[in-house]
Amino acid sequence: MASLVVQNSSLADPRPAVYSRTSLRLTITTGGGHPVTADPAISSPPHFQLEAADGSLLLSMSREHCQLHARFHGACLIARCTGPPQPWSASGLGPEGFAAAVPAALTGLHWFVHSLATPMRFSLCQPGVPVVHGAAVAHFEKNWGRSFPSAWIWAQGLITLWDFHPWNSIFTAQSSPCPSDTTLLLTASQPLTRRGVEVQIRARRSSFAEVECPTREGFRPFSEESFTAAATVRLFEYRIGGSERGGVQKQLLEAFEFEGAALEFGGAARCHHTDAGVALEAAAA
């Protein structure tokens, strides 16, 4: 299955349009046209092509060059890279770090980010809408394993400042997926560097669209996403002493906001989800 999700920031019609193709026969080959027989090295650049047998989808990546052609039910997206990717880390590792080496049979799912912001040029067409041409930045990632978990929350935005990872940070998360203005509050702190961050992401409930995800019983409407969220980021530094009472003081260093972030609630984390049984089965898969 493949989907093309299109969303604008219009207040009059905020809900995304979703164009999907099911029962696709996909083939993946190396840059030389040979079948993929082994996982690539973490540090190696991408060099592959994914293609649908009916011609509706083509994704080609070769080092810093890439192109995408997708055509689903009258909607189409043609895009090409115009610059190098911005990797998650210089080491080639993704958000999981070395935990990506743990077999998926134990974790159930793995997640890798190839690029946080690759510059691109694109052309977008939709039924009854003029063709849009423009420049953008692309986020490339992949999931692999047996199934998605029973519940998850995902958010995406881009401002490169500090890195916080599960192995060197303490995280907390609070979410409210049902109000008219949905929110996610994420905090992280690093005891060794004495740094902290608070990220609050907000999106209108009317801006979410239902997206199908892999479960034990195949693809199901299992997630809801918005791509017009707003984020507020606050950076802190923890200082010992600094007041008459002593102790640890939390000092705000910088605060800023940006638009165009993504926010997703999946499985049992969705608002008024009705298929918790399917979610639990996916987690056990």
pLDDT digits (tens, 9 = 90+) for 128-151: 989 999 999 999 998 888 888 889
Q: Which pTM value belongs to this model?
A: 0.84
Residue given tokens 């019983």 in the structure block: 217
φ and ψ at residue 62, rounded to 5 degrees: -145, 100
Q: With 0-12 CB in 10 A as exposed, 13-18 as middle and 19+ as buried, what is 47?
A: middle
Among the ranges given (78-87, 138-147, 176-185), the one the predictor scored with the smallest mean pLDDT: 138-147
pLDDT at 108 over 80: yes
Q: What is the mean pLDDT of residues 253-281?
A: 76
Q: Whole-angstrom Cα distance, residue 251 to residue 228?
A: 30
Band of residue 55 on the pLDDT scale cut at 50, 70, 90: very high
Give the single-character DSSP code of 150: S
Alpha helices by DSSP H, listed for the chain, are 104-107, 276-284
For the cut 60, the answer to whether the pLDDT of residue 101 exceeds it is: yes
Each residue of 231-264: pLDDT tens digit? 999 999 998 876 666 678 889 999 999 998 999 9
Region 53-71: what's the mean pLDDT?
A: 94
Task: Decide if 97 contacts 112 (C-beta within 8 A).
Answer: no
